[in-house]
Amino acid sequence: YLQTGDPHMEAVVAKVRRALDRDISVLILGETGTGKEMLARAIHHDSARASHPFVTVNCASLPAALMETELFGLTDGARREGAAGKIAQAQGGTLFLDEIGDMPLELQARLLHVLQERRAPPRGGGPVDVAVITATQRNLREMVERHEFREDLYYRLNGLSVRLPALRERVDLMAIVQRILRAECDGRLPELDAEVVRLLERYPWPGNLRQLSNVLRAAAMMAADEPTITRSHLSDDFIEDAQRAMRQPLRAPPLAADATPPRELPADSAAPPAPASATAAEPATLEELERQTILRVVKELDGNISLASKRLGISRNTIYRKLRRP
């Protein structure tokens, strides 16, 4: 879901590609569920370290005492299986520290020492050869100002900082939906009822990609081999949340930096216009939904194809080609 046509994600991917194998620590920022670990794994997979381990540590899931052992292993001279910490296990590969903002201050000091000296604890330990990728949903700069995160460690980890957009900020929702459904349905792509499309498009997705994946996985399971996913296949709590969201004003998708700012849309403009030959109850293929979305955006921008291209994250030629289709 990293490259499905969203210009924000394309910019993120372009940045990290330039940093591959440059011995630069990468800090990934973003809300929960935006795909931070997915990006970290992609960086590892595309690097020269791909044949070595990718080791993950969730800094928010363990108390300080256990996290110390998890990271640095047993340092009392014990030499038994399982004594090595995650840093040692990642030797030659990539160490991914998720939710680094939740790491206790005393462990931040130890981590900084290991990264600076490139040697494993205890003193005199072996050399450390790992690429370090960190991620957080917290504002580390503010934490530094409040003395909750070490400033020296922040700059050590922030060689390259990238921010993943929230799902509500992306313009490629239906492309992501298509990929998830293909994966869940063994390559088969079920159609989506028009009401389901409206619910998906209007929902703000506070849980981002993780939540979308869970909703679609459940819907695909309930639909089984039926050709169309309908409202009846969605979970009741999602329908309730989505209906509440539909009563809120809808804002246009984010534009590129050099485009005109979005304007608020009336609530009844949420659904894409149905083709003349279809009714509201008829299912729509993803190709049809894509064309309808393009038509709506072009209309909102008074026919300006250049601005529509920037908003949708697709080329002008693609827009012309899609609109020429009957």
The CATH number of 168-324, from 3.40.50.970, 1.25.40.80, 3.30.2020.30, 1.10.8.60, is 1.10.8.60
**According to the model, what pLDDT value does residue 186 have?**
87
Domain ranges of the chain: 7-165, 168-324
> Is the pLDDT assigned to residue 283 strictly greater than 80?
no
> Is the pLDDT assigned to residue 64 strictly greater than 60?
yes
Of 138, 55, 48, the C-alpha closest to 100 is 138
Region 207-234: mean pLDDT is: 94
Give the pLDDT band (50/70/90) at residue 279.
very low
Query: 153-185, pLDDT tens digit by residue?
Result: 999 999 999 999 999 999 999 999 999 999 999
Q: Which residue has the higher pLDDT, 3 or 249?
A: 3
Give the pLDDT band (50/70/90) at residue 3.
confident
Query: 101-158, pLDDT tens digit by residue?
Result: 999 999 999 999 999 998 876 555 688 999 999 999 999 999 999 999 999 999 999 9
Q: In this structure, are residues 305 and 298 in contact, taking their beta carbons and an 8 Å threshold?
A: yes
**According to the model, what pLDDT value does residue 125 have?**
64
Structure tokens at 144: 């530094």
Q: In this structure, are residues 320 and 305 in contact, taking their beta carbons and an 8 Å threshold?
A: yes
Q: Is the dihedral of CA 254, 258, 264, 269 positive or negative?
A: negative
How many angstroms separate the CA atoms of 111 and 71, rounded? 9
Neighbours of 173 (CB within 10 A): 21
Q: Is the dihedral of CA 183, 189, 192, 197 positive or negative?
A: positive
Region 231-260: mean pLDDT is: 70
Q: Which residue has the higher pLDDT, 245 or 241?
A: 241
Rounded to two decimals, what is the model's pTM?
0.74
Detail the DSSP E strand segments found in the chain.
26-29, 54-58, 94-98, 131-136, 160-163, 191-193, 228-229, 250-251, 264-265, 283-284
Residues forming beta bridges with residue 133, ordered by sequence position: 26, 96
The domain over range 7-165 is classified in CATH as 3.40.50.300: yes
**According to the model, what pLDDT value does residue 160 have?**
96
